[in-house]
Each structure stands twice: as structure tokens, then as C-alpha cells.
A and B are shown apart, each in its own frame.
Chain A
Amino acid sequence: MIFYIIRRFLFLPIILLGISLIIFVLFSRLSEYQRLATYINNPERLKSTDLDKLIELYGLRDPAIIQYGRWLKNVFSGNLGWSYVGKEPVYNAILRRFPFSVELTIFSVIPIILLGTWFGVLSAIHHNRPLDHTLRIFSVVGWSFPDFVFGLFILMIFYSSLNWFPPGNLSIWASDILKTSLFRSYTGMLTIDSLLNRRLDIFFDALRHLIGPVITLTYVELAFILRITRSSMLEVLQKDYIRTARAKGLSEKVVINKHAKRNAMIPVATVSGQTVLGLLSGTVIVETIFNRTGLGSFMALAAQQLDYASIMGGTLFFGFILIIGNLIVDVSYAVIDPRVRLE
């Protein structure tokens, strides 16, 4: 296992390079003029009439490999160009929006894992009985719902009709308070910051705005965890050690909750990384529909307006985050399964 982890860490830079290479190759299809924006952090300079001089200056007609090196250097020094959509350097735009997406992802991951494993276990325990079938239908329908369709339905019902969960990140009164110097930003995540600022009203307002997108993402992504839990639970329940646990006199509850679940969660843990991956791309759609600020809606907007610097930076960022996230999942997976720890 140690070797495995070390190997993973050794490959990390290679994969990160790979991602940057794909992105660079893709973007090298654009003209020099279009690419210029991905190098320049200052919008004033882009307005200058003599773009050719700038292109010369940034060596955008140099051999590709040299350009790649130069661009990488730029990336590492945090210069991802000017974001036309964000009206600020791409780097800042991403860092400012990312916490919102993380917040949404965290708030969605929790119910997905909890409900998904709960339903999955229920489904397995009630194998082939009505509850199992009901949950299967429930999950396959959710699985079949595109997030934007379900999101639109949620908006229609809970916003247009009932006016419970409005779109956006915050109500106007709350975002006004955010702009004042009274409110200090610590993490960039509204729920946490509002608690740290002791503003319960803002906290609940932020929560209220989170509910719609969270319901959407949860239902759409739930099926995956549910299925994995169900099948792995079914498999575990056949195992000899479950019979041993019963033969000891443990109650069915302990057998399921302690002996079976812990084992059944191992495959679930390995795919939870994929769920986060799905969620992060889900934010693109869900943030757009619910009109939320975040990295996802930022990407969508940049794509709609062909803001190449933002797209390039955002994709790179997404890729890096996911790679590192997956690595963390793999390593923490060793914690659940003692067999992996030693191998």
C-alpha cells in the first residue's frame, strides 16, 4: 500500500502535466489574437491597438514547445490571464468563486452519501421485496433525470409556485450586508463565514438558497451510491463472517450496522471520488440554473461568451482539483480497509 501511495504521488506531476498538455494543445488551435488574453493580466493592455506587438512580445508565434514552457511558467506564477467574464484576473476570479462551488458540493455530498448508503442498505436488506423495488425505481428515475431538467422542475415548484427556495446565493438584503466592512470573509463559503460573523440570519438565508440546488444534485447523483451500496451489501450479506456474527448472538441490527456495513462501505468509498467528480461538473449546470455564483456557472458563462482565458484556467483548475481529490480518496480508503493498509 505504501508503495502504491508513493507511486500515485510520483505519477501526480506527470498526470498534472498531461492535463496541462491536453489543454494547451486544444487551445493552440486558436489564433494568436484569441490566445493573447490568456497571457495578459491587465485589461488595459489588451485594449492597445498594437496587438501584433504584444503577440511578438509574448512570443505567441514561437515554436509550440517553447510556448508551452512559457505558459506553464505563467500558470505556476498564478498568471492565467484576464477574465473577460469576471472582469478580473482569471486566477482571482477562480479563487473567489471556487469556495461557493465547494460549499454546494459539500452540502450535496453529505445527503448523497447518507441517503445513498441508507437506501442502498435498506434495498439490500429488503432484497427483491417491494421496498427494494420502490427504491430501485426511485433511483433509476433520478439517474435518468438530467440535472437541468430536474433543476427546472424544482425551480418551477419550489420557487415559482411555492416561493420557498429562491435562486441565487443570497437575498439582496444579505448580500448588501456582505458588502459592508462589518462582514469579514474567512473561507469564502457563505454558511461558514456567516456563522463566524455570528450572523445567523445570513446563515439561514444562505441555507435557504442552497436547498434547491442541493435537492437537485442529490437526487440526480444519488443512484450511483445507492446501487453500489446495494450490490456490495448484498455480496457482504452472503459472507461467512456475517453468519459468524449471527452465530455469536448479535442482534440483526448490530450484524447489519457493524459487521456488514463496514465491509460494504469499502467499494462505496472507492467510488465516492467519482461522485464528487460528478458533482463538480454538476455545478456547471446547477449553478447556472439556480443563478448562483460559483466556478461552475463561471465556466458556463465563459463558454457562452468565448472567454478563452477563463475557460482555459478553469479547466486546468478543475483537472488539478479532481486529480488531487482522487488521490486523497485513494489514500483515505486505506483507512477503512485494514487489508489494504499493509499490502
Chain B
Amino acid sequence: MKRNRRTLFRKFFLNLSAFLGFFILFVFIVVAIFAPFIAPPKPNKNPYLMPIVTWNGNPEAPSPEHRFGIAGKRDIFYGVIWGTRTAFQVGIIVTFVSTFIGLVVGSIAGYFGKLFDEILMRVTDVFLAIPFLVAAMVFTTILGTGLDKVMIAMTVFSWMYPARLIRGNILQVKEEQYITAARSLGVSHFFIILRHVLPNSIFPVLIQASMRMGSLVITAASLNFLGIGAPQGYADWGALLNYSRNWMLGGNGEALKYWYMTVFPGTAMVLFVLSWNLVGDALRDFFDPRLRI
């Protein structure tokens, strides 16, 4: 029957895309954990700095020795592998810290309401007014380069999203509380709200965080791509892609001669972000079918 086929197809698709998301993510996690074995760093060197493997500035095509080729005197394979760690670091730390700040600010605004709320929400507006990437650029130019600076910059300009979410949830619960008049029972208002808000907010916050993960990693890579984030030679996909910019035209009549400089780090980047987006989608479908978008 036609209808049955359709439901089956849908279920399969939903599961497939969720599975794909988790699977890709899992592969990246494995790669990040085993990076020292997959691409062993030089002893006594910071493994996050891609070692210089040649003195010739020209890119070199993939070879058994350098599986993904060489860009900017550095091994692309090494950069892609260790770049996985960089991506996780940036994404997880920034998401974690900014979500925490957001929760605190959002709770204060939502719980105390009135003037607090007004002020905090205007502050959020101000922070939201500056484009994320531009804000991060400003920050890194002032603080100086370095991945830590990039992360600080992104944290400062991304706490507003969870803050708004949690505030909205608290306001909603508060409204319901007035209706059910649970307050009159003498139970502390604060705990009622906490008890109602937390379970209702955990998953939206999680879903939002996993969706935000992608854009955070993209922004960090963008800064590195522009050369204003991590220092020269830092193992990062954006930084690797930066090397390819000067070789876009190809050479010797071969337009796509240096394809590997773009394709390997680019694909890693896209798959990484894609996996988080798919996971976010899956979480949302699972926990909040209303929001199935």
C-alpha cells in the first residue's frame, strides 16, 4: 500500500540521517582520540603545530608518504587529523562556557523579571547587533592571535542564544504558575520554577547547543582562514584552506592541479559541521516533534 511505503520511507530516512550524523561524529571522535597514533607528532614538539616537512613552498600532490599532499610546507594529512582535535576543542569549550553564561543570565532575567529583564535583554540586543564573525575579528585583533583568544571572542558573543531560550522558558513557566496558583501552597517560588524549567529546558538547550556547534567551528575556522586566529602553522582546517588560496588558478594548464589543498580539509570541515547539524536535527525530532523543521 502506498501509504505504508511512505511511512516506512520516512522512518528509514529519519533514522538514516540521524544514524549518519552520529556515525560521522563517532568517526571524528575516534580520529581525535587516536590522533597521536594516526599522525604521530614529532617528539617534544607541540603536536598542534603542523611540522614543516619541506623547504619548498610549492604544494605537492598526494604521495604514499604524504597521503593528502603538502600545502604551505606542511603535511595536509597531519593537519586534517589534528585539526579534528582543534575543532572539538573550540566547539565544545565555547559551547559549554557560553551555554553556562547564557543559563545564568537568562535565569536572572527570567526569574527576577521587570527591570533586570529589561536591562539584560537590551544588553543581549547590543551583543546580537554585531555580526558574530566581525565581533570575533575585533576581539582577536585586540587580544592578539591564538586559539584561546578566538575562543574567548566567540564565547563573549554567543551566550545570548541560550540566555534568550532559558528566559523564554522561565517566563512561560512563570505564567503557568500563576494560573495553577501553585505558589499559594507556600512552596518556594524559586524551586517551583527551577523544577519546572529545568526538565523542560534541558533538551532545547542541548539541541540548540548542538546546532550552534557547527557555526562556532565554522567561525573559528573562518578566522584561521583569514589568518587572524590561530598562529601560523596551527593544525586547523581553516588555516590549511588558507594555503590553498594562492593556488586556486592551478598551473601548467591544469586548472584543478592543486585540488587536494581544498578538497581534503574542506571535506573534513563540511562533514564535521554536517554531523553536528544532523545530530541536532535528530535530537529535535526525537525530543520535540512539534519543532520538526
Contacts and interface: CB of A to CB of B under 8 A. Distances in A.
B212 to A, nearest CB: 12
B262 interface: yes
B98 to A, nearest CB: 16
Interface in B198-240: 214, 218, 221-222, 225-228, 238
B225 A148 contact: yes
A171 to B, nearest CB: 16
A299 B132 CA distance: 13
Contacts of B125: 11, 15, 18, 323
A160 B249 contact: yes
Interface stretch (B70-78, B134-142, B180-188): B134-142
A2 to B, nearest CB: 20
Contacts of B129: 15, 18-19, 319, 322-323, 326
Nearest to B251: A160
B273 A231 contact: no
Interface string A126-165: 0011100100110011011111110011011001110000
Nearest to B229: A303
A228 B293 contact: yes
A300 B137 contact: yes
Contact of A27 (B142, B249, B292): B142
Contacts of A261: none
Contact of A146 (B142, B218, B293): B218
B179 interface: no
Contact of B142 (A29, A133, A161, A300): A29
Given A11-B122, A23-B138, A146-B221, A140 B278 contact: yes
Contact of A304 (B226, B256, B266): B226
Nearest to A140: B277
Of residues B17, B139, B273, which shows the largest number of chain A Cβ atoms within 10 Å of its Cβ? B273
A279 B165 CA distance: 24
Contact of B270 (A30, A144, A285, A322): A144
A159 B6 contact: no
Contact of B122 (A15, A22, A234, A304): A15
Contacts of B266: 149, 152-153
Contacts of A14: 122
Interface string B1-31: 0000011011001000100000000000000
Given A15-B122, A149-B270, A153-B266, A306 B259 contact: no
Given A144-B274, A156-B259, A303-B140, A315 B130 contact: yes
A71 interface: no
Contact of A285 (B133, B139, B273): B133
B123 to A, nearest CB: 7
Interface in A299-343: 299-300, 303-304, 306, 308, 311-312, 314-315, 318-319, 322-323, 326
| Contact-residue bracket for chain A | 35 or more
Max chain B Cβ within 10 angstroms of own Cβ: one of A29, A129, A144, A314: A144
B126 interface: yes
Given A140-B278, A311-B137, A319 B222 contact: no
B250 interface: yes
A284 B255 contact: no
Given A14-B122, A304-B227, A284 B134 contact: yes
Contacts of B126: 15, 18-19, 22
B225 A284 contact: no
B273 A144 contact: yes
B194 interface: no
Nearest to A301: B226
A178 interface: no
A140 B218 CA distance: 14
A259 interface: no
Contacts of A311: 137-138, 141
B204 to A, nearest CB: 15
B131 interface: yes
Contacts of B218: 146-147
B269 interface: yes
A289 interface: yes
B6 A129 contact: yes
A299 B293 CA distance: 35
Given A148-B221, A284-B131, 14 more contacts: A19-B129, A133-B10, A140-B17, A140-B274, A140-B277, A141-B274, A144-B273, A146-B273, A147-B222, A153-B266, A231-B292, A284-B222, A306-B141, A308-B141
Interface of B: 6-7, 9-10, 13, 17, 122-123, 125-127, 129-135, 137-143, 214, 218, 221-222, 225-228, 238, 241, 244-245, 248-250, 255-256, 259, 262, 266, 269-271, 273-274, 277-278, 281, 291-293
9 contacts: A141-B270, A148-B221, A152-B244, A281-B132, A284-B134, A289-B245, A300-B137, A311-B137, A319-B129
